Amino acid sequence: MTSRPKTKKSLGQHFLRDGNMIQKIVHAISADRTDRIVEIGPGDGALTGELLNAYSDVIAIEIDQRMAEHLRELYPRLELIEEDILKCDWSRFLNTEKPVHVIGNLPYYITSQILFAIFDHRENLTSALLMMQKEVAQRIVAEPHSKEYGILSVQSQLMSTPEILFDVPPSVFSPPPKVDSSVIRFIFDKGKLACSDKHLKTVVRMAFNQRRKKLSNALKRLNTDLPAKEFDFSLRAEALSPVMYEKLTARLEQLGTFDG
C-alpha cells in the first residue's frame, strides 16, 4: 500500500480526518443503496470508503494524478474518472436511468464554478450534498433584502431547494482551513424555468454587479425599454425575489431583448 499523498495547496485540498463527521455526512445523503453516487474531488478517499460501504454504484472524479493512483490502490472496485470536473463530459456518469446524487468537499476557490456546473446538469440529478465555506453556504440560502443575498442566492433557489444541514469546524480537516465550513443539500425538485438559464444569468449578474444602483441604471446595458409598468425598476437588486427575477427575464425574452 502506498503512503497517503500530501495535500496540494494549489488545489485547495483540505481532507477530512474525523470519523464521526465522515459518518454524519454520509448519513445525510438521501439516496437508496442502488442509486448512483458521484463524488467530486475524493482526494485521499476519506469519504469514498464509506460511500462504497453504503452504496453499490459509486463514481469518483479526481483531478490530482497522485490521489487518483492512491485511490485505485486503496479501492480497486471504485470507478474513477481522472479529470477536471469543470472540463469533463458529464454524460459519462449521468447516462443512467438511476437517480444520481452528487457529493463533494469542494475546494473553496472554485466552489461557485462547480456549483453552476451542477446546476447546468440539474435535469439529470436528484440531489447534491456539498461541503463548502460557511459564508458561501449562507449566501446560497439568503433572503432578499439581506447583505448576503445575491447571484448565488437567486440561481440556487430557482434551480433547486437548498438547505444548510450542519456546520463543520476546521479541526476535522488536515490541514485545517482558516474558515468554518457547512454541509448544504440541494434537492433538484424545481421544474423548468420560464426563461433560459443563459438569459437569467445575464440579468441577475448585471443587476448585482451594480447592486447599489437602482435596477433601472444597473440594467441599462441591456439596451432595451424596460417594462416599467410591470416591474418596479426604482428598487435595488436585493429587493427582487428569485421568482421575480425569473418573471422579469421571461418578460424581457418576450419583448425580444436578447434577440440578435
259 within some domain? no
Which domain CATH number covers 13? 3.40.50.150
Note the pLDDT tens digit of each residue in 145-173: 999 999 999 999 999 999 999 999 999 88
* pLDDT at 3 (0 to 100): 55
Average pLDDT over all residues of the chain: 92
260 among the known binding-site residues?
no
16 among the known binding-site residues?
yes
79 among the known binding-site residues?
no
One domain for residues 126 and 33: yes
One domain for residues 85 and 122: yes
77 within some domain? yes
3 within some domain? no
62 among the known binding-site residues?
yes
Residue 137: is its pLDDT beyond 80?
A: yes
49 among the known binding-site residues?
no
Domain boundary residue, one of 187, 211, 236: 187
192 within some domain? no
Note the pLDDT tens digit of each residue in 209-231: 999 999 999 999 999 999 999 99
One domain for residues 238 and 118: no
Residue 13: is its pLDDT beyond 60?
A: no
Range of the domain at 227: 197-254
One domain for residues 69 and 155: yes
d(CA 74, CA 119): 31
Which domain CATH number covers 240? 1.10.8.100
One domain for residues 85 and 206: no
From residue 157, how far is each of 39, 73, 202, 217 by CA, in Å? 23, 40, 16, 25
Q: For 37-45, what is the mean pLDDT?
A: 93
One domain for residues 142 and 74: yes
Alpha helix segments (H runs only) across the chain: 19-27, 48-54, 65-74, 91-94, 111-120, 134-140, 151-159, 197-209, 215-218, 242-254
39 within some domain? yes
Cell of 24: 454524519
90 within some domain? yes
At 97, which amino acid appears?
E
1 within some domain? no
d(CA 147, CA 141): 12
Greater pLDDT, 4 or 67: 67
When pLDDT is cut at 50, 70 and 90, the band that residue 181 belongs to is very high
223 among the known binding-site residues?
no
Beta-carbon contacts of 23 under 8 Å, excluding residues fewer than 6 positions away, are 50
42 within some domain? yes
* pLDDT at 43 (0 to 100): 86
From residue 121, how far is each of 115, 117, 256 by CA, in Å? 10, 7, 26
d(CA 238, CA 33): 41
CB 172: neighbour CB atoms within 10 A? 19
DSSP state of 170: G
* pLDDT at 10 (0 to 100): 46
Note the pLDDT tens digit of each residue in 102-111: 999 888 888 9
